[in-house]
Structures are given as structure tokens and as C-alpha cells.
Amino acid sequence: MKAFDYAAPASLPEAVGLLASQPSARLLAGGTDLLVQLRSGRKEADVVIDVKKIPELNEIAFSPAGGLTIGAAVPCYRLTADASIQSHYPALVEVASWIGGTQIQGRASLGGNLCNSAPSADSIPLLIALGASALIAGPAGSRSVPVEDFCTAPGRNQLAPGELLVSIQIPPPAPFSGAAYLRFIPRNEMDIAVVGAGAAVTLSNGVIAGARIALSSVAPTPLYVPAAGESLVNQMPTAEALETAAKIAQEAASPISDMRGSAAYRRHLCAVMVRRALELAVARALEIN
């Protein structure tokens, strides 16, 4: 690995200042992507800035009115152990326990998953379905971006030079709402999704009042399909209605063929995984409340 300097700023302003003065800096949270990329030469850095000492990037905060804030560097094993996330966002616990294995979850963060911006990122379809936004800090202050707009191409995202992701903010769960992320992998764990589907639904008197659906591994970025969720609004959550939404999501996908599956197979899986994710989300909306 090429030599670099190491800095661990203790505050957000310090980190933003350091980032502004070091154009070739790379940000280190859990390092499960970055250190592999630096070692292989795919990325280079003169300075590695460890963001784990910055309080805002390390917090988990939940309030019934404000929802959930997950600091960008919070590792998955803290999310799965958090009582408020367990009770209000069970799908988030599942996704955090599916990213890598136990050791990877000891380091990897959802913020890192978002910033690595892989088309196959497991957490992003669920974050989109949950209506999450990304809080970004930079030299010009802070701004918030819906997660569905964050990734722009494989490995690329909205972060401008000098900016960093501070946290992911998720709205409070509405009454009678439920969410799920499911992925298809040939193994039981430690694998990259052939197709992943995130879904969230809110019911009102047994009728779907709102739904959001997103996919991974079927487009250059994690893919939000607003039309799929909109097709469910004012519908009863019947098998036919969920199937129609799944077909709309399938139509929006533009998968490629690679070692993990052919485009045709992925397209088939899109409808299956979206339907199953919707079924689980509906079941949770009915049981949680």
C-alpha cells in the first residue's frame, strides 16, 4: 500500500477544514471498502482522515417525533444491538446483520455503504424505502439529500470535493407501517446480492396509504421506482396489487449479465423479490402496531 499520513479530527469543523486543505484525502470509517481499495491500488490517498472521533458521526439518536439519526461512521454491530432500532426499524437490524460477516459488521457502517455507492449496496434500497436522507457537511455549510438522489453512478455520488457525509436521517415510523429488505444470494450469507429489494408500506384502515420501493444490483445505482409504490396507493394489499407493483419495479430495472447472474435472470428476480419484500412489509405493518 502506498504511504499516506493519518489524521483523526475530533470535531466536524476540524474535519471539514482538513478536507478542504487536503484535496487527495480519503475518509476512513470502518475501512472495509477503503483499505481494500487502497491496498489494491484502485484508490490512492496522501492523507487518510479517520472520522470515527467526530461525535456527530458516531451517534445513534431516536425520538418518536424526530425519527432516527445514524452517524455516518456507526458500525453495523451497534445498530443491531440498539434497542430503539430493534423496536422501531426491525428491517434495519436485518440489513445491518447481512452486510458481510460478524467481523465486517464490527467495522462497516451504513454511511460507508452509502458513500461507497455500489449498485449492489444492501442498505441503500431499504434506506430509500424508509424515506431516509443524507446529511452532508462541507465548506459551504450543510445540506440534506434524499438517499435516492445520493448515488450518481457506480462508486460515485453527490459528495462534492471537501464534503463529507455526517449522518443518515430516517423519519419516524408511521402507525401501521412496515418495511423489509430482501436479497437473493446463492449462499446463506457473506455474498453480494444478485438482486435486492427494499419496500416500505403504510396502511390506513386496511388500505395502502403510501408505499416506497427500491432495488439494488439491477441498475448503475440503487434504483428508486416511485411508480411502483404509487400504484399501491388506495389499494387493498391484495396479491394482485402487490404483483402489479412488482411488475412495475421489474420494468424499471436495467440489469446487466455478469458472474452473479444473467440480465434475464435478474429481471425475473426483480418481480419475485419486490413481491416478497412487499408481503413482508405489509405483514409487519399489520403486526407491529
Using CB under 8 A, list all residues that contact other proteins.
1-6, 28, 30-32, 35-36, 38-40, 48, 50, 52, 75, 77, 100-107, 188-190
Q: How far is the CB of 58 from other proteins (least distance, A)?
A: 13
Which CB sits closer to other proteins, 1 or 160?
A: 1
Cell numbers found for residue 277: 419484500
Which CB sits closer to other proteins, 36 or 239?
A: 36
Cell numbers found for residue 167: 449522518
Sign, CA torsion 258/186/274/173:
negative
DSSP code, position 267: H
Which CB sits closer to other proteins, 102 or 204?
A: 102
> How many Å from the N-terminal Cα to the C-terminal Cα in the chain?
51
Strands 47-50 and 25-28: parallel
Which CB sits closer to other proteins, 39 or 156?
A: 39
Q: How far is the CB of 218 from other proteins (least distance, A)?
A: 24
Cell numbers found for residue 39: 491496498
Strands 156-157 and 151-153: antiparallel
Q: How far is the CB of 193 from other proteins (least distance, A)?
A: 16
Query: Are the C-beta atoms of 154 and 118 separated by less than 8 Å?
Result: yes
DSSP code, position 261: B
Q: How far is the CB of 204 from other proteins (least distance, A)?
A: 37
Q: How far is the CB of 259 from other proteins (least distance, A)?
A: 16
- The H or E element containing residue 53 is none
CA separation for the pair 107, 289 (Å, rounded): 33
Q: How far is the CB of 18 from other proteins (least distance, A)?
A: 14
